[in-house]
Chains A and B, each alone.
Chain A
Amino acid sequence: MKLFDLRGGVHPEGRKNLSAERHIRALSLPKYLFVPLQQHIGAPASPVVNVGDKVLKGQLIAVAQGAVSSSIHAPTSGVVVALGDHVAPHPSGLPVPTITLQSDGAEKWITCETIADPLALSPEDIAARVGAAGIVGLGGATFPSALKLNLSRSSGVQTLIMNGGECEPYLTCDDRIMRERAVEIIEGIQLIAYAVAAKEILVGIEDNKPEAIAAMQAAAQGTPVKVVAMPSMYPMGSEKQIIQVLTGMEIPAGGRPADIGVLVHNVATAYAVQQAIRFGRPLISRIVTISGGAIKTACNVEALIGTPVQELIDFADGYSQPAARMVLGGPMMGQQFTNTNIPVVKGTSGVLALTQSEIGQAAPSPCIRCSTCIRACPVGLMPVEMVSRIRASDLAAAVSFGLKDCIACGSCSYVCPAHIPLVHYFNYAKGDLATQERVKLKQEATKKLADTRNERIARIERERAEAAARRKAAREAKERAKEAAAQAATETV
């Protein structure tokens, strides 16, 4: 199959061999599970259990709220011991509303509906079941999958692309799941394709995972699913880039893949979809890679959502040396964390303990305008120009250089010989602009409120004045009548 060229990109050292040959193992059941109500893009879920409630494994404990949201299920059977704040897997380290579950060790499932022939279901039904199972994009974006299916079905999909790129260094969770659960994944892919009526199905896998490609190709025999090896390059696994390399098309700026008739899902999401439709099992666990130079035994585990990260590190026999930095996700776009009490959430693909030499970060030095960042940018931006504008607090100019097209992949920061934290600047600027936008919207809204109030007050005044005038007129009329009567009386007398 013909592949298309990409611009930019970088080739960070993969270091996937640390964990690539380690089979997925189930993590032992933790005593407490911390299940945040927001593990997805959109509105947080709303809890439907109370403290003290006994729940079964897979039971709905928080229900999706609003258009963009996702439901959350109990990862194991046990008792809800707290509904409150717990530290979140988020760079701010702020606490988020979390359901704390004490496991009872029984792992007693709810009764799950098994469906022998899922293709007998209607596409709408499949999307609804995916939504009910709380499935979100497991590649890291955590966008509610059911919503994506519905949007794509209504706008029509030509090509379904399954993302098996896994271009982030260290991570091997998608690699392992493709090697070990290829048959289930292919079935899940066909279900997704059926749900959106896709005409072409492509699975893109980077060529540094030959075993995964072989396993998927074997499982795809006799199905319309086409497995394609893509060159290994970061950020190949980014939605925009995988579409471009496989179809040659670009998503219009500000648009969605559906605008060009494409739908992209992660391979692990396909597995979750298969489990949800075939066996009625909601998304309560995911594969996580535990790796990094400071981890003693790098490995891949299937961890329940809500498992504290410390349990995973213990499972990997702890540290071989003090970690310079702990990272959730891959090293290119993952988030540093300091509190190992944070839970595994639906978007957690890796837990990394990195050494100083692996990070390779030095103090920033002056920019020499070498334009390496421009050559590395997969989107065609000029990071050097954007940063100089942001440093001068001229965010509008940074936007005119394409700040909002930045996908925050970190390629520019990775290659910068001056070690300037370019993508940090961009995320700061994006956050600041979003805040300004919120303030502006609020000001407009409150101005409208103030105008309404002023109008109302004016109306009340006016009505009051009118009423007073009416009363006065009536009184005068009455007096006049009285006078007239009196006059008439005197005249008669």
Chain B
Amino acid sequence: MFVAVISLTLLGSALGLFLGFAARHLEVEGNPLVAEIQAILPGSQCGQCGFPGCAGAAQALADRNAPVTLCPPGGRAVVQALALKLGMEANLSDVADNVPMMAEIKEEICIGCTRCFKVCPTDAIMGAAQQIHVVFREACTACGKCEEVCPTESVKLQPILVSIQSWYWNKPFAGGAI
């Protein structure tokens, strides 16, 4: 029995020492930016961005091959941090923080140019030349195309406010229970 214990102990220690030595002295220098970006990402490797895990996403970001808004689970916080790190401007409207939105038209500054309802993919905007346009809540998908073409910034995506019809109970906070 002692032979077995001693031999296994020695084998384990030797291999452990070797691995430790290898990690310290044979390390390959990576791009430090990639590592820094990876630190910002959630690290959940969900793959929603289309890259193989957060490391792949970090590499793509460092190569400027991906927008800073690529990470849906990260939300606004990650987008802002990435934009800061890469010195890019972030378009936060690309990141919906899970709040339902819809386009709203400020009637005072709408000039009735009809550009928005021409681009609307779901015909959610009604109007005619020189007339104020209206958005149908039920048809608007909050794609934001109207916002891009509006010459007066009259169309803006706004969060849909909770109404008595859409309100429902929150998930109870159970603490350490159950």
Interface residues of A (CB under 8 A from B): 38, 88, 90-92, 94, 96, 363-367, 387-388, 390-391, 418, 420-421, 424-425, 427-428, 430-432, 434-435, 438-439, 442-443, 445-446, 449-450, 452-453
Contacts and interface: CB of A to CB of B under 8 A. Distances in A.
B26 interface: no
A446 B178 contact: no
Chain B residues touching A, range:
20 to 34
B138 A445 contact: yes
The 3 closest A-B pairs by CB, nearest first: A431-B168, A364-B177, A449-B122
B166 A435 contact: yes
A391 B164 contact: no
Contacts of B121: 450, 453
Contacts of B167: 90, 92, 94, 431
Contacts of A434: 168
B163 interface: yes
A63 B173 CA distance: 41
A96 B178 contact: no
Contacts of A364: 174-175, 177-178
A418 B177 contact: yes
Nearest to B141: A446
Contacts of A390: 171
A367 B178 contact: yes
Contacts of B164: 38, 88, 90, 92, 94, 96
Contact of A435 (B123, B140, B168): B168
B143 to A, nearest CB: 9
Interface of B: 100, 120-124, 138-141, 162-164, 166-172, 174-178
Nearest to B100: A439
A424 B178 contact: no
Contacts of B176: 366
A428 B177 contact: no
A431 to B, nearest CB: 2
A428 B124 CA distance: 31
Nearest to B166: A435
Contacts of A418: 177-178
B162 A94 contact: yes
Given A94-B164, A363-B175, A428-B172, 16 more contacts: A94-B162, A94-B167, A363-B177, A365-B177, A390-B171, A391-B174, A391-B178, A420-B174, A424-B169, A430-B168, A435-B168, A438-B166, A449-B139, A450-B121, A452-B123, A453-B123
A364 B174 CA distance: 7
A452 B139 CA distance: 13
Nearest to A449: B122
Contacts, number: 78
Contacts of A425: 171-172
Contacts of B168: 427-428, 430-432, 434-435
A387 B166 contact: no
A100 B172 CA distance: 35
Contacts of A367: 177-178
Contact of B178 (A388, A428, A431): A388
A387 B120 CA distance: 42
Contacts of A428: 168-172
Given A387-B178, A449-B122, A452-B123, A431 B169 contact: yes
Given A427-B168, A428-B169, A431-B168, A446 B177 contact: no
7 contacts: A431-B169, A434-B168, A445-B138, A446-B122, A446-B124, A449-B122, A453-B120
Contacts of A430: 168
A420 B178 contact: yes
Given A364-B178, A367-B178, A449-B139, A421 B172 contact: yes
Nearest to A441: B138
Q: Looking at B138, B140, B164, which has the most chain A CB atoms within 10 Å of its CB?
A: B164
Contacts of B141: 443, 446
B146 to A, nearest CB: 14
Given A94-B162, A425-B171, A432-B168, A449 B124 contact: yes
Nearest to A96: B164
Contacts of B100: 439
Contacts of A91: 169
B138 A442 contact: yes
B163 A94 contact: yes
Contacts of A452: 123
A427 B139 contact: no
Contacts of B170: 428
A420 B169 contact: no
A363 B175 CA distance: 9
B177 A366 contact: yes
A445 B172 CA distance: 32
A418 B164 CA distance: 31
A449 B136 CA distance: 12
A436 to B, nearest CB: 11
